[in-house]
Amino acid sequence: MGKLKEECGVFGIISTETSELAADVYLGLFALQHRGQESCGIVVNDDGLFTSHKDVGLVGEVFTREKLASLGSGNMAIGHVRYGTTGSGGVRNAQPIVVDHIKGRMALAHNGNLVNSVELRDELEMAGSIFHTTSDTEVIAYIITKERISTPSIEEAVSNAMKHIQGAYSIVLMSPTKMIAVRDPHGFRPLCYGIKADGSYVVASESCALDTVGAEFIRDIEPGEMLIFDAQGIRSDRRHCGELPRTLCVFEFIYFARPDSVIDGCSVHSARVRAGELLAKRHPADADIVIGVPDSGIDAAIGYSRMSGIPNDVGLIKNKYIGRTFIQPGQSSREDLVRIKLNPISSVVGGKRVVLIDDSIVRGTTSARIIKLLREAGALEIHMRVSAPPFRYPCYYGTDIDSPERLIANNYTIDEIRDILKVDSLGYLELEDAENLCGCLKGFCSACFNGKYPTSEPVKKGKKRFEYRISEARERENE
């Protein structure tokens, strides 16, 4: 439905005793499912023996009772949900990946995107390396492996690898005896950890996953920090901390993360309510009712209502059964996916001047369709408010925006967009407001709004940057 595709989520658990840890990872991945619905996987480590399953599909589809049981027991386990920002989809690029190297086996789950993976991969291939996937994760595994040869421990290898890999990465990995969680020095993507009542440590992309498995939140892993978990307990390696300025993705707060998560000390829900409040300040409207587009506009609608005094109501009902299994039947022209998913409540919007809150406008087609439905349901005026600034630049850090030419804000002025959407007024969140949603928490990447990238830009861009090289390969082959 024209939304930004989300990215990935990682989860890890280490226990002092062998138990059915796959159950916890399963629950944790359910809590992180919003971060990636394309594929998922779990690897269980039973004292050095790795058992894994991964496939294309939602967690509830991939992990049947039988498959979950087949993972057995272990003392560590990691999991991953993937949307897939580098490399095409399919089971080939599903994570975690499990590889053998000179010092043993390693499983690795990664959220983020490197900006120098093409260069790293070229170097590795030049030295005879082969690649089974087209994802950054395999590049990271290689770099760690190369470092591992000459370092006394896996954590040293990871720390050394961090000197080579650039970009966004929140990683959970397992060696036969250790679980390691590491967040890139910029802290682009969230990563936190907590503890269960039985003493198991849990690492997750978002705190909502800790809640789901009944773990108490301890703290966020800091930008540049590496945590090493093993039978001896937990150690923090902070040698890369502070190397680079924090540039946490602001879109985590605006759209990606679950509202019940807390990232780097800031409640996602509160940030969204705050976005609504700031919108109401900057872009007031003379209206009767405020409604949010479910699910992601709901929080900001509360803020807008609160600041403006205009009552908030439920104006659109989302069909909660339309999921991956839904097939668009019949002639596509006659049925309309937006209408199937969202239905306005006429008694709420009929005869009213409506403030409509959504979290973003990507291409504009979905918004236009929603607005048409509301008009048909009798809305007199529609004042659209967007709880994010206009989206204009590609993201190189793990979200699926790489075709600036299709972004409506890149092709039209705000007044033009207003006319295209046929709304009575249109207001976006101001960029400076976006960076002030989290109170005292500062330091964001807003590159998708302002084009100011905290790192160098990748030499080859785009999700399928390794696939694109295939055609070259045909020539190269015949050199």
Instruction: List the catalytic residues.
Output: 8
Region near a second copy per CB under 8 A, out of 91-99, 403-411, 442-450, 456-464: 91-99
Q: Please say which residue, 241 or 338, places its beta carbon nearer to a second copy.
A: 338
Q: Where are the alpha helices (DSSP H) in 150-267?
A: 154-161, 207-212, 250-251
Q: Which is nearer to a second copy, 125 or 286 (CB)?
A: 125
Q: Which residues from 374-403 bind a second copy, rule CB under 8 A?
A: none
Q: How far is the CB of 295 from a second copy (least distance, A)?
A: 7
The four Cα atoms 271, 276, 280, 281 give a dihedral, to 10 degrees, of 10
Using the minimum distance from each CB to a second copy, give the nearer residue, 156 or 424: 156
Give the dihedral of Cα atoms 227, 230, 232, 233; nearest 10 deg: 40
* Nearest CB to a second copy, comparing residues 129 and 411: 129
- Considering only residues 204, 298, 356, 437, which one is a binding residue for a second copy as defined by CB under 8 A? 298
Q: 298 vs 407, which CB is nearer to a second copy?
A: 298
- Please identify which residue in 1, 3, 17, 100 interacts with a second copy, judged by CB under 8 A: 100
- Tell me the C-alpha distance between 39 and 154, whole Å: 27
Q: 65 is written with which tokens? A: 């009772």
- Shortest reach from residue 212's CB to a second copy, in Å: 6
Within 10 Å of residue 345's Cβ, how many Cβ atoms? 15
Q: Which of 218, 338, 345, 362 binds a second copy (CB under 8 A)?
A: 345
430 CB contacts (<8 Å, ≥6 apart)? 278, 282, 389
* Shorter beta-carbon distance to a second copy: residue 329 or 440: 329
CA-to-CA distance for 1 and 423, rounded, in angstroms? Answer: 19
Q: Does 311 bind a second copy (CB under 8 A)?
A: yes
Q: How far is the CB of 186 from a second copy (least distance, A)?
A: 25
Q: Does 440 bind a second copy (CB under 8 A)?
A: no
Calpha distance 142→440 (Å, rounded): 39
What does the per-residue mask of binding to a second copy show for 238-277, with x meaning CB under 8 A?
Answer: --------------------xxx-x----x-xx--x----
Q: Which helix (H) or strand (E) holds 226?
A: strand 226-230
User: SS3 of 245, please?
Assistant: coil
Return the residue of 2, 72, 89, 176 that touches a second copy, per CB under 8 A.
Answer: 176
User: Is the CB of 136 or the CB of 299 nearer to a second copy?
Assistant: 299
Using CB under 8 A as the binding rule, whether residue 410 contacts a second copy is answered as no
Q: Choose between 156 and 381: whose C-beta lies nearer to a second copy.
A: 156
Binding a second copy (rule: CB under 8 A), the pick from 16, 17, 153, 282 is 153
9-18 burial by CB neighbour count: b if 16+ within 10 A, else e? bbbbbbbeee
Which contiguous run of DSSP H or E holds residue 81? strand 74-82
Residue placing its CB nearer to a second copy in the complex, 46 or 430: 46
Residues 92/132, Cβ–Cβ less than 8 Å: yes
Helical (H) or strand (E) element with 340: helix 337-341
Are 166 and 224 in contact by the 8 Å Cβ rule? The answer is no
Q: CA separation (Å) from 456 to 117, 121, 123, 201? A: 12, 17, 18, 35
Asked if 411 touches a second copy (CB under 8 A), the answer is no
Decide if residue 425 touches a second copy (CB under 8 A). no
Of 41-70, binders to a second copy (CB under 8 A) are 47-50, 52, 58-61, 63-65, 68
CA distance 130 to 99: 12
Distance CA 45, CA 179 (A): 10
Instruction: Give the burial class of 443: count Cβ atoms within 10 A of its Cβ; 0-12 exposed, 13-18 middle, 19 or more buried.
Output: middle
Interface with a second copy, residue 462, by CB under 8 A: no
Nearest approach, Cβ of 392 to a second copy (angstroms)?
A: 30
Could you say which of 27, 218, 362, 441 contacts a second copy (CB under 8 A)? 27
- Segment lying near a second copy (by CB under 8 A), choices 244-252, 316-324, 364-372, 454-462: 316-324
Give SS3 for 337.
helix
String marking each residue 177-216 x if it binds a second copy according to CB under 8 A: x------------------------------x--xxxx--
Binding segment for a second copy (CB under 8 A), chosen from 238-246, 298-306, 359-367, 423-431, is 298-306
- Which of 5, 164, 339, 353 touches a second copy by CB under 8 A? 339
Q: Scanning residues 119 to 138, which ones bind a second copy (CB under 8 A)?
A: 125-132, 134, 138
Report the 10 Å Cβ neighbour count for 293. 23
User: Nearest approach, Cβ of 415 to a second copy (angstroms)?
Assistant: 32
